Amino acid sequence: MESESSSADELDDGFFSRRRADGFESFLKKKSVDRISSLPDTVLVHILSFLPTKDAIKTTVLSKKWQFLWTLVPTLHFYDPKLLRNGDIHSFVNFIDQTLILHNAPKITKFRLELDYYAVFKSRVNLWVRFAVRREVEELDLDLLGAKVIEEFYGKPYKLPINLCMCSTVTKLSLRYCRFTYRNWTICWKSIKSLSLGYMQLTDALIRDILLGTPVLEVLELRECSGLNRLDINSERLNRLGIYGYGDFCKSDSDLVISAPKLRSLGIYGLFRRKCRLVNVKSLDDATLKFKLLDGHGNRDNSDKGYCKIMEELLSSLISVKNLTIATWCIQVSSILEVVIKHLPLLLVKCLILVTHFDKWDLPGIKCLLSQSILLEKLVVDVHSPSTSQFSFDKKFIDSYNFDGENYWASQKLVIPCLKNHLKTVEITGFSGGQHAIGFIQFILKNALVLEKMVICAKRAEQRRWMKDSKAKELVEVVQKMLRFRRASASAEILFSW
């Protein structure tokens, strides 16, 4: 009996051991199932479309199923910083050639090329562009910066081929360091809705032909282009214009005139060597002034009054916009208007965004803009670190009109109209303390009679990483202090975001 019992026990143990082993093996198999490869090809191709082309091609080693999937991906992005950094540009060009030979997608949705362009590659780039056009490309981005182009910028950048300038399928086009030649043919981009031109030599006639050849264009961006004297936009559809710097060294005394009676949104950004003059922008809802006029450019005598006149003319043109964003240089020129001229046109904005670092010489400009925004309902103050886009105040001016920045807001007695009747929301982002900012917050709380909410956000997470514990503790104490500030509006609440 004992031997039988013991045999049964051994049998049971063996049986359960085998079952446990089989179960564990089955578990391992389930855990090692390649669930991604089991997805439909269309889904896998869609996933690969988010990768740079070189990375998408690397998936061929995964299995036979993946071997040719990349050839069906409708997006192509050619950029290899490692090869370009090592100067192996010819290997990169050969890689693009081989990739396009094997590519089988019937239609290209996006084609992006970033290349250090040299004239020797002209025929190859022409072939790549022809490939994209024949595959009915929808979004095309050519960024052709090269050493030769930098050395002789107006020499021979890549010349756009006629097949691209007659492409009817492209809806979004971005061109950098290219050039037009249009003597014997016209531009016909009947599907383009968004056009971005960067670092290109333009003319008034050329931009006029481009606008005539893009009947459904909605967004136009000009980045560091040159050669323009006047930009006339009469299209019913084009509603957003962004000008990012202006690189014309030869005509700094003349104006860049912009006439766009039906434009809804205008942004002027970056460094300018010429003054922008707005002559007809009566339909604008949104305007952004984040630019700096370089010293001695656009202002013949380089005087403070000259810069003030430029600012006054700009703001007079924007009197009816609903949303206005103004950055440091323009704020500081407004400070001169406030301190010296004490005159600025009234603004009918409902939302004002100020990009500032609360420097002492930002304060009069902030007050000036607030005073003139008589219908203001929302104020956003985006606090940034000091940048190069500051106004270069003359030492004589600083000495003549110096004031106590620490107590500037406490010393203000004049009633600001929007604080009395309209301002309901204030948002301050990038807050890190500082007496100028704290004094401003106290001034708003003390005088905004209908304020409903003030939101204060501390510096962004990536900036806070470098903040010492002592600074963080100090900031908490500042917040507790501000919560005790007197509020003119009984319904005003203060929200802090750390």
pLDDT band at residue 248 using 50, 70 and 90 as cut-offs: low
Q: At residue 298, does pLDDT exceed 60?
A: no
pLDDT for 332 equals 93
pLDDT band at residue 16 using 50, 70 and 90 as cut-offs: very low
Length of the chain: 498
Q: At residue 73, does pLDDT exceed 70?
A: yes
Q: What is the mean pLDDT of the chain?
A: 84
Can you name the CATH fold of 317-498? Answer: 3.80.10
Q: What is the pLDDT of residues 305-355, one digit of tens each?
A: 788 888 999 999 999 999 999 999 999 999 988 888 766 789 999 999 999
Q: At residue 116, does pLDDT exceed 90?
A: no
pLDDT band at residue 83 using 50, 70 and 90 as cut-offs: low
- Any idea which residue has 């603004």 for tokens? 347
pLDDT band at residue 488 using 50, 70 and 90 as cut-offs: very high
- Among 265, 270, 178, which residue's Cα sits nearest to residue 224? 270
Q: Mean pLDDT throughout 479-494?
A: 92
pLDDT band at residue 470 using 50, 70 and 90 as cut-offs: low
Q: What is the pLDDT of residues 385-441, one digit of tens each?
A: 777 678 888 888 888 888 888 899 999 888 899 999 999 999 999 998 889 999 999
pLDDT band at residue 297 using 50, 70 and 90 as cut-offs: low
Tell me how far CA of residue 4 lies from CA of 1, 8, 11, 14, 32, in angstroms: 5, 6, 10, 15, 42
Q: Mean pLDDT throughout 229-246?
A: 94
Q: At residue 468, does pLDDT exceed 70?
A: no
- Any idea which residue has 């089955």 for tokens? 26
Q: Mean pLDDT throughout 435-451?
A: 95
Q: Mean pLDDT throughout 102-126?
A: 92
pLDDT for 117 equals 87
Q: What is the pLDDT of residues 29-65, one digit of tens each?
A: 455 556 777 778 788 888 888 888 888 888 887 777 7
pLDDT for 447 equals 95
- Are the beta carbons of 238 and 210 closer than 8 angstroms? no
In this prediction the pTM is: 0.85
Share of the chain above pLDDT 90, in %: 54
